[in-house]
Amino acid sequence: MLQALQSNWLLAGGAALVLLLGLFHALTADPLFRRDARGAIRLVILGAALRGLQLALGSNIQGAWAKALEVGWMIVLSFGVIRSVVSLALKLVRSRERPAPKILRDVVDATLYVLAALVIVKHEFNLDLSSLVAGSAIASVVLGLALQDTLGNLFAGLSLQLERPFEVGDSVAVGTESGRVLQLGWRATRLETKRREVITLPNNQLAKQTVKNFSRGNEPVGVDVFISVSYEAPPNRVKQVVADTLGEVPLILASPSYRTRTWAYEDTSIKYRIRFYVADYSRANRVRDEVLTRLWYRLRREDIEIPAAPRTMHLLRPPKSAGLPLDARRSLLGLVDIFRVLRDEEREHLANAMVQRFFGAGERILEEGAAGQTFYVVASGTVAVTTRKGVEVTRLSRGQYFGEMSLLTGEPRSATVVAVEDSVLFELDRAGVGELFVGHPGLATQLSTLLAERRLQLQAVANANVPPSDHPEANRILARLRQIFGLS
């Protein structure tokens, strides 16, 4: 075989191999194969060049230099051939989605390189390798013992790569560590945690531990969150409130659907397990945060208590309308244009009647099309009025109000209102507004005009039209409002 290796047609064979690899390189998108092919092409060209040099120099080069050149081109060319054949073979055996693991390529390449180098050296220098092998037996044992850990890691790494419990880029948890797989190496696997630390886990330790992989090829991943709420709240109501809240969190998947389970009766509260699914586990903590944050606001608005530690259990809860002192609430009402006509005692009465509501950033306060009989004044924060398609009509902040359309006309909500930032609102119901009309009949006309203006602006945004200048809509609204509140 070596005779054949030395003959000139090897140059032609090398050229054919380079062409073949170049063709595969151009046809495939697999980056690992392309890198291997480039390496192999370089080795084959270098080997052929050395062989060409040897032929060109002929008998001009003698002794050790001639030998070195001969051994050199043989080794380089055989390495090139080995690398080409191994990468082509692995490419054919493994599918495109699952390219051959790098460690496997490296181990096969290295073994064949050593064998080829031994055969060439044995032939060129007429060495008896069996005596070399026998002589090195003791050294091998010593070396083997010294390399025990390294070899253990290597084989563990190899089995991990063949078995593939995870891939580079997957989110995994191993023991107490969790993060995204950065690199699968010969000796160790590297994870990057959320804190941006890089953790190096020796492969043999990894192979012995339970590995949780949260990235099963873009499959949804479940996340569990536990909450404890008061015994006063009926479980089915709690489940409904949780379901409504989860439905509004954008990163939670609709399918598989989220669900809440009554989990345990604890000393001071009932524990619920909430399970929902996300597409990308690396965002699980963000979603968990959003769920717990939104639930705080929502449960509070629904008067469902999240009991604090037992030692604070018997503290009296302040009345619902408290939060802002009465003076502050009165001066807030002073900012609201439609309430400027109120007398002091009326304003005070209204300040006491309003109920304080908290909304977290991103929470939906009103939904277009829903029924509604509540009216809100913004005490702090900002809310956005949007159309069903999510086009923003306007933003309202301190002293401005919304929700009056449905409350006054009995029609479904005309727009969706979302908290842009954490907002405190004061809520008034139909009875509260009805009382105001009794003392101030002019309010009805004022509100009808305002309603008509708002509605036309809303329609203009929805239809992307310029609003017309007169408001025939105002008369229609006024008639309806008079009918509902029995005004003359």
Q: Using omega within 30 degrees of 0 as the cis cutoff, is the peptide bond preceding 256 cis?
A: yes
Strands 383-386 and 211-213: unpaired
User: Least CB distance from residue 467 to ligand CMP, whole Å?
Assistant: 9
3-state secondary structure string across 190-229: EEECCCCCEEEEEHHHHHHCCEEECCCCCCCEEEEEEEEE
User: Least CB distance from residue 385 to ligand CMP, whole Å?
Assistant: 4
User: Least CB distance from residue 453 to ligand CMP, whole Å?
Assistant: 7
Structure tokens at 393: 């009509």
Site residues (CB under 6 A) for ligand CMP? 366, 372, 385, 393-394, 402-406, 413-415, 417, 454, 457-458
Buried (b) or exposed (e) across 126-137, using 16+ Cβ within 10 A? eeeeeeeeeeee
User: Least CB distance from residue 335 to ligand CMP, whole Å?
Assistant: 16
User: Least CB distance from residue 480 to ligand CMP, whole Å?
Assistant: 13
Structure tokens at 374: 């509540």
Cβ pair 228, 271 in contact under 8 A: yes
Using the minimum distance from each CB to ligand CMP, give the nearer residue, 229 or 424.
424
CA distance 92 to 27: 13
Using the minimum distance from each CB to ligand CMP, give the nearer residue, 75 or 477.
477
CA distance 350 to 98: 69
Using the minimum distance from each CB to ligand CMP, give the nearer residue, 205 or 457.
457
Using the minimum distance from each CB to ligand CMP, give the nearer residue, 76 or 418.
418
CA distance 327 to 344: 11
Q: Torsion over CA of 433, 438, 442 and 447, rounded to 10 degrees?
A: 20
Cβ pair 73, 51 in contact under 8 A: yes
Using the minimum distance from each CB to ligand CMP, give the nearer residue, 47 or 403.
403
For 363, half-sphere exposure in the C-beta direction (CA atoms, 13 angstrom radius) is: 25
Using the minimum distance from each CB to ligand CMP, give the nearer residue, 159 or 457.
457
User: Least CB distance from residue 417 to ligand CMP, whole Å?
Assistant: 5
Beta bridge partners of 273: 226, 261
Using the minimum distance from each CB to ligand CMP, give the nearer residue, 84 or 374.
374
User: Least CB distance from residue 360 to ligand CMP, whole Å?
Assistant: 19
User: Least CB distance from residue 469 to ligand CMP, whole Å?
Assistant: 16
Structure tokens at 310: 């037992």
Sign of CA dihedral 147, 150, 156, 162: negative
Which residue blocks in 267-401 are alpha helix, DSSP H? 284-301, 326-335, 344-353
Using the minimum distance from each CB to ligand CMP, give the nearer residue, 54 or 387.
387
Alpha-carbon Rg for the chain in angstroms? 38
User: Least CB distance from residue 403 to ligand CMP, whole Å?
Assistant: 4
CA distance 132 to 139: 11
User: Least CB distance from residue 200 to ligand CMP, whole Å?
Assistant: 56
Residues across the chain: 488
Using the minimum distance from each CB to ligand CMP, give the nearer residue, 180 or 454.
454
Using the minimum distance from each CB to ligand CMP, give the nearer residue, 290 or 404.
404
Q: Helix (H, G, I), strand (E, B), or coil: what is residue 9?
A: helix
User: Least CB distance from residue 454 to ligand CMP, whole Å?
Assistant: 4
Phi–psi pair at 257, nearest 5 degrees = -75, 155
Tally Cβ neighbours within 10 Å of residue 472: 9
Using the minimum distance from each CB to ligand CMP, give the nearer residue, 109 or 363.
363
